[in-house]
Structure 1
Amino acid sequence: MNVVRLLWLSLSVVLWACGGGASSDSDGGTTADAGSDGGSTADAGNPIPDAGTAWDAVGALLDARVADAGSDKVPGLGLAVYDAQDRKVYEHMVGDFTPDRRVAVASSSKMIAGAVIFDVIRQGLLSLDSTTGEVLGWTGDKAHITLRHLLSFTSGMQNEHLCTLQPDLTLAECVAIIATTPQVAPPGTRFDYGSTHLEVAARMAEVKTGKTWNQLFRETLANPLGLPPEVTYFTLPRKAQGTSNPLIAGGLRTSMNEYAPLLALVFHKGSYAGLVRGTPELFDAQTREPYPGVVIGNSPVKDLGLDYRYGLTAWLHCDTPADGCGTISSPGAFGWTPWMDRETGYYAVLGMQLDRNDEGVVGFSVDLMGDLQPLIRAALGH
């Protein structure tokens, strides 16, 4: 796993901007109430008893990694694993972390934002081919940017802008500023990981629905899944500040128990807990790299000689990204790392909120994810 560790160490530099707020911020007393996942059907309260030594190996690895890192760097973390029937088949907490502790999940917000936008598409208000020219009135080269470009970070725009971190703006105002910046490349020709793409995509959804992003998130996912108002998108999520200009790429605050039903909906390709959100075709498209021939610009892999690719708001974990991957993930700058393995039949949340000033945070969490995967597969009988 040394190569993977190096890969994600480099990604931590990119991901930090998607978390918002100062790294020394406290959680501000916003611990979630127990059982706050409300009407969701994922079993957040009563894990199935451990299946003997197979799961013991998972717990031992978690304990060992926290001990090796030291309590000053990793004061606590948790892992929850759900099977394809949405049963919590395993849960293990280390240190001071709990499944109800609400934290900033940074770039793990991206996959959830994708699910919201997929539902706007399902309603016929947008399509993956909708352009900024059609929806936002952009002109020139930027007018040809599609929603598909935005969700795959191939819009050709500059990948970051300081307006995404200004809580006194609205999303509309920030996107208007982004619209004035020069293009880096023509749409569909260059991949640049960053925040601006999803800001624009979310604004397109706002315009077409007549709702703010957080209204849309609440009506589409949060309310039907029984999530409390505190589960929302902020400009500065560690401080829980700013909701008029939410950081779509990294502003969500939630707990493990609250994130689980959101991840379940993605795992089940939009059909979960009596809800239908998005379409199976859109969730299948999420698992494929839409522009395999793009130049790789701002990416955590370009300096390592690795060909690690991106779909629609998710990283792809397979050797055939253009054809689709059974495993996808959405790791965040503070260590929070959700992933799903549809081939094995499970999804998991590795929960934590670490100090982003430690450049090894994302390397630590994604390295741990990679080492957990074969142990989880074995525990599930694969």
Structure 2
Amino acid sequence: MNFRSRIPAALRRRAGAAVLTLLGTTTVRADCDFSPLDTAMQELLQTTGLSGGAVLVGRRDGVLHEQYFGDYTADTVVAIASATKLLSATRIAQLSARGTLALDAPVSSVLPQFTGTKGQMTLRQMFSHTAGYGDDEDSPVLRTNQPSLAAAVDTVACCVAMPNGWTPGAQFAYGGISMHVGGRMAEVATGQDWQQGWNAAIGVPLGITTIDWQGLGATSNYRISGGARSNLRDYGRLLQMLVNDGVGNGRRVLDIAALPPLFADNVGGLPIAYAPPSAPPPGQLRYALGNWIESLPDANGLATHSSLGAFGFFPWIDRPRGLYGVFMIRGGANINATARPVYLQMLGEARALVDGGACVTVEISDAILRDGFD
């Protein structure tokens, strides 16, 4: 039986027109009208003058909607800025659950060159912006011209002081240096290069081919907090694995034990020493490992999480609904002021459509997309 014959004739007739507009995709939604999301993206592109964009919405059982605009296609790869943080934190949570790294052990136990107050930082603090560094995204140690991640982190150990008055575990201060140190801890603990280790343990099992840490230029100083790049589908593969409690592409990628620390709030009542302009206000700010917590947990302790990038790459996971999505554009440093309201609109509309119960998931081959339906 070919793929085409497994789709009911009535569904083929209903979805036909929509499918023909999605050339080059491999999945499509039916019976669920995502046109408001598409209209919102088209209006954003017209307003900003950007050349293209893309949007993906899926749930545990597959992709509900995938659409490309302007010159963006399924092959378009963009730098994802701080959306990198969730990718990196997923690897840290994986290593912790496997017993390779301890989230609450001091950095000095793995990197003895860190001494004094610096040596007290923990991985949990490093990946939740509570380790004592922050407001440091422009630091030279994060740049691509450094010879390696190891060399950059050695420079942090010897020569990059924490801001005056900041100490591990005492405040939330958003930044990149602490995650940089955490990435080097993973290299030392595993004996693997960061990028190669992530790919072997997460990328290959999920069938990911475009994610690496070369988004800001060729480098061996992998910017753990913001240097990755991806296409739409590959990031979606990671998100689908997360809403499936660690299972993706037919295999377990994350142990169940990795999920609670990945998604638990690490800020609590800590004072906010520094947060980016798009962050929630103090009192509402909640941050887990490499991701923002955007809603209060439900009765099962599940919430909505995001890892928004400064260039307009916005991934999100609605764990109560088993829903995920990626909003993908590539703009300048100030794009989020315009793009974030559109992202929030899309998130709300996706939830409403799924809550309505009409969405079904249909997988369709590229050949059928080219040929159309009867």
Same topology, TM > 0.5: yes
Does residue 175 in structure 1 map to residue 149 in structure 2?
no
Q: State the Cα deviation string for residues 109-140 of structure 1 (Å, max 9, x = none).
A: 11011111112112211121121111101211
Residue 364 of structure 2 is matched in structure 1 by: none
Q: State the Cα deviation string for residues 319-377 of structure 1 (Å, max 9, x = none).
A: 469x9551000111110110011112211011111122xx2x12233211211122112
Q: Of the candidates 48, 68, 87, which is equivalent to residue 28 of structure 2?
A: 48
Per-residue deviation, 1:159: 4.4
Residue 16 of structure 1 is matched in structure 2 by: none
Residue 84 of structure 1 is matched in structure 2 by: 60
Mapping for residues 16-31 of structure 1, pairs under 5 Å: none
Residue 32 of structure 1 is matched in structure 2 by: none
Call closer, same or farther: CA 1:100–1:260 in 2, change over 3 Å: same
User: Which amino acid letter does the alignment assign opposite residue 97 of structure 1?
Assistant: Y
Per-residue deviation, 1:276: 2.6
Q: Of the candidates 84, 93, 117, which is equivalent to residue 118 of structure 1?
A: 93
Call closer, same or farther: CA 1:59–1:173 in 2, change over 3 Å: same
Residue 100 of structure 1 is matched in structure 2 by: 75
Residue 136 of structure 1 is matched in structure 2 by: 111
Residue 263 of structure 1 is matched in structure 2 by: 239
Question: 2:289 is paired with a residue of what secondary structure?
Answer: coil
Residue 151 of structure 1 is matched in structure 2 by: 127
Per-residue deviation, 1:158: 4.5
Q: State the Cα deviation string for residues 295-342 of structure 1 (Å, max 9, x = none).
A: 101103689666222111001112469x95510001111101100111
**Distance between the aligned counterparts of 2:132 and 2:226, measured in 1?**
20
Residue 102 of structure 2 is matched in structure 1 by: 127
Question: RMSD in angstroms over aligned alpha carbons?
Answer: 2.3
Question: 2:105 is paired with a residue of what secondary structure?
Answer: coil
Structure 2 segments unaligned to the other structure (5+ residues)? 1-23, 357-374
Mapping for residues 311-350 of structure 1, pairs under 5 Å: 311-319=288-296, 326-350=303-327
User: Which amino acid letter does the alignment assign opposite residue 241 of structure 1?
Assistant: A
**Distance between the aligned counterparts of 1:227 and 1:306, measured in 2?**
37
Call closer, same or farther: CA 1:286–1:94 in 2, change over 3 Å: same
Residue 212 of structure 2 is matched in structure 1 by: 232
Residue 378 of structure 1 is matched in structure 2 by: 352
The answer to whether the 8 A contact 1:46-1:88 is kept is no
**Distance between the aligned counterparts of 1:199 and 1:95, measured in 2?**
35
Aligned length: 325
Residue 277 of structure 1 is matched in structure 2 by: 253
The answer to whether the 8 A contact 1:336-1:365 is kept is no
Per-residue deviation, 1:248: 0.8
User: Which amino acid letter does the alignment assign opposite residue 312 of structure 2?
Assistant: G
Question: 2:274 is paired with a residue of what secondary structure?
Answer: coil
The answer to whether the 8 A contact 1:155-1:186 is kept is yes
Call closer, same or farther: CA 1:343–1:84 in 2, change over 3 Å: same
Question: 1:223 is paired with a residue of what secondary structure?
Answer: helix
Question: 1:198 is paired with a residue of what secondary structure?
Answer: helix
Residue 22 of structure 1 is matched in structure 2 by: none
Structure 1 segments unaligned to the other structure (5+ residues)? 1-43
Mapping for residues 161-310 of structure 1, pairs under 5 Å: 161-180=139-158, 181-184=160-163, 185-228=166-209, 231-234=211-214, 237-238=215-216, 240-242=217-219, 244-300=220-276, 307-310=284-287
User: TM-score, normalised to structure 2's length?
Assistant: 0.81
User: Which amino acid letter does the alignment assign opposite residue 317 of structure 1?
Assistant: E
The answer to whether the 8 A contact 1:288-1:324 is kept is no
Question: Share of identical aligned residues, percent?
Answer: 26
Question: 1:339 is paired with a residue of what secondary structure?
Answer: strand
Per-residue deviation, 1:263: 1.9
Per-residue deviation, 1:288: 2.3
Larger Rg: 2
Name whichever of 268-277 and 307-316 sits farther off: 268-277
The answer to whether the 8 A contact 1:287-1:324 is kept is no
Residue 7 of structure 1 is matched in structure 2 by: none
User: Which amino acid letter does the alignment assign opposite residue 205 of structure 2?
Assistant: P
Q: Which portions of structure 1, spanning 4 or more consecutive aligned residues, are displaced by more than 3 angstroms?
A: 301-306
Q: State the Cα deviation string for residues 15-44 of structure 1 (Å, max 9, x = none).
A: xxxxxxxxxxxxxxxxxxxxxxxxxxxxx9
The answer to whether the 8 A contact 2:187-2:194 is kept is yes
The answer to whether the 8 A contact 1:112-1:263 is kept is no
Call closer, same or farther: CA 1:277–1:96 in 2, change over 3 Å: same
User: Which amino acid letter does the alignment assign opposite residue 26 of structure 2?
Assistant: N
User: Which amino acid letter does the alignment assign opposite residue 174 of structure 2?
Assistant: Y
User: Which amino acid letter does the alignment assign opposite residue 220 of structure 1?
Assistant: A
Q: State the Cα deviation string for residues 64-110 of structure 1 (Å, max 9, x = none).
A: 2323x142xx221110111221x211122222222320111111111
User: TM-score, normalised to structure 1's length?
Assistant: 0.79
User: Which amino acid letter does the alignment assign opposite residue 152 of structure 2?
Assistant: C
Residue 13 of structure 2 is matched in structure 1 by: none
Residue 12 of structure 1 is matched in structure 2 by: none
**Distance between the aligned counterparts of 2:188 and 2:76, measured in 1?**
34
